């Protein structure tokens, strides 16, 4: 069983290293081949987001906004969005710290 896992991990690393987007993502600390491939597979094209905060909001990593009348009121983190990628990014960030 462990030989099969090692073979799959090696294939995943090779595929992640060949693609330009995933190889660029793996340069960042805390993002390995699994996270990079998950972002590539499940996230929409990064050109759809204007800024990084929009991507973080899509993941569910920013506070919910309850703003009206020019008065900003930020709530708690909504945790709505892409749960799998969010979880992988949080685990990677914790590993770096």
pLDDT by residue for the chain (97 residues), tens digit each?
Answer: 699 989 998 998 998 888 888 999 999 999 999 999 999 989 898 889 898 888 888 888 877 666 677 777 666 666 677 888 888 998 999 999 9
- pLDDT for position 10: 92
CA distances to 10, 27, 41, 46, 90 from 78, in Å: 36, 28, 23, 21, 15
Tracing tokens 């991507």 back to the chain, one arrives at 55
Helix, strand or coil, per DSSP, at residue 77: strand
- pLDDT for position 56: 85
Closest C-alpha among 26, 9, 7 to residue 88: 26
Handedness of CA 30, 10, 2, 38 (dihedral sign): positive
Single pTM value for the model: 0.75
């Amino acid at each position: 069983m462990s030989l099969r896992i090692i073979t799959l991990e090696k294939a995943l690393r090779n595929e992640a290293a060949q693609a330009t987007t995933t190889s660029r993502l793996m340069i960042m600390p805390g993002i390995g081949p699994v996270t990079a491939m998950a972002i590539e597979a499940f996230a929409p094209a990064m050109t759809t987001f204007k800024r990084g905060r929009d991507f973080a909001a899509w993941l569910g990593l920013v506070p919910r906004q309850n703003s009206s009348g020019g008065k900003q009121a930020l709530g708690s983190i909504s945790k709505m969005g892409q749960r799998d990628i969010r979880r992988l990014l949080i685990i990677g960030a914790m590993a770096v710290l």
